[in-house]
Amino acid sequence: MLKINNLHASVEDKGILKGINLEVKAGEVHAIMGPNGSGKSTLASVIAGKEEYEVTDGNIIFEGEDIEELAAEERAHKGVFLSFQYPVEIPGVSVTNFIKTAINESRKAKGLGDMPAKDMLKLIREKADLLEMDRKFLSRSLNEGFSGGEKKRNEIFQMAMLEPKLAILDETDSGLDIDALRIVANGVNKLKSKDNAVVVITHYQRLLDYIVPDFVHVLYNGKIVKSGGKELAHELEEKGYDWIKEEVNA
């Protein structure tokens, strides 16, 4: 599904990613961990196609196609979803109306007409229930006055509605209380299938108790310096990153 080869990327002429290699196959869950500033969010942004990042070498192949020249919006229409992609506050536009527009735009890009209102309503209710969301929340203005946890839950709701092929969740656990964490993780698990893939970026092993990864990668100084199974996350929780830094610098 996703194949990243020797990816180098910079922002404001500063090299951040320094040769990332990563392959994510359909049906897999990958976790990316690593110290602050190592490039995790940058990697997510580069995959999603945010404009401020420049790819200076290597490539990103999504579903067999080099997506470098595609705008973020086109990538989204092809099924790439990044949490935090729509953090804007839009007073007067409800959570529901925002997602309706997003869905119909993605259908338009595929040459389809608008989703019939009845189907849309049914889908919205189904996904809101899946994430145990209060119906009242759906009519609130997008992100306006949302608490950190509400923002995160709204992101997962957007993901549930859009059903992306590849979902990249950047620190979805930060700001969620224990119950919300469980609900959101269960939502992600229920949406998992053999046809889609999830990349979770997290600092804590805790989230990975709920969303169990097939692979864990450690990003350090713009490179993936170690990969393993879910036990690697436990090892990191226990030992921190120093041993990895020592290995790299040895």
Ligand X SMILES: Nc1ncnc2c1ncn2[C@@H]1O[C@H](COP(=O)(O)OP(=O)(O)OP(=O)(O)O)[C@@H](O)[C@H]1O
CB of 40 to Mg ion, least distance (A): 5
Q: 7, 20, 39, 200: which one contacts ligand X (CB under 6 A)?
A: 39
Residues 136-155, mask of contacts with ligand X (x by CB under 6 A) = --------------------
Using the contact rule CB under 6 A, the part of the chain among 8-16, 63-71, 108-116, 190-198 near ligand X is 8-16
- Distance between CA atoms of 4 and 30, rounded to whole angstroms? 14
Residue 41 binding ligand X, by CB under 6 A: yes
Residue 42 contacts ligand X per CB under 6 A = yes
Q: Is 158 in the site for Mg ion (CB under 5 A)?
A: no
Span of 38-46, 70-78, 122-130, 138-146 interacting with Mg ion by CB under 5 A: 38-46
Torsion, Cα 101 133 140 106, to 10 degrees, reads -10
Contact partner, 49, from Mg ion, ligand X, none, Cβ < 5-8 Å per class: none
Binding-site member from 9, 30, 40, 241 for ligand X (CB under 6 A): 40
Q: Tell me the residue ranges of DSSP E strands in 37-193.
A: 53-62, 65-66, 80-82, 90-94, 141-142, 166-170
Shortest Å distance, C-beta 187 to ligand X = 23
- Rounded Cα gap, residues 193 and 160, in angstroms: 12
Asked if 41 and 228 touch (Cβ cutoff 8 Å), the reply is no
Is the CA virtual torsion 172, 178, 183, 188 positive or negative?
A: positive
With CB under 6 A as the contact rule, the residue among 19, 37, 87, 240 that binds ligand X is 37
Nearer to ligand X, 38 or 85 (CB): 38
Bridge partner residues of 169 (DSSP): 200
The one-letter amino acid at 247: E
Calpha distance 173→184 (Å, rounded) = 9
Minimal distance, residue 238 CB to Mg ion, in Å: 22
Q: Which residue from 34, 49, 79, 213 is in contact with ligand X, where contact means CB under 6 A?
A: 34
Cβ atoms within 10 Å of 202's Cβ, excluding its own: 22
- Near Mg ion by CB under 5 A: residue from 41, 106, 172, 196: 41
- Dihedral sign from CA coordinates of 6, 9, 15, 16: negative
38 interacts with ligand X by CB under 6 A: yes
Q: Site residues (CB under 6 A) for ligand X?
A: 11-12, 16, 34, 36-42, 52
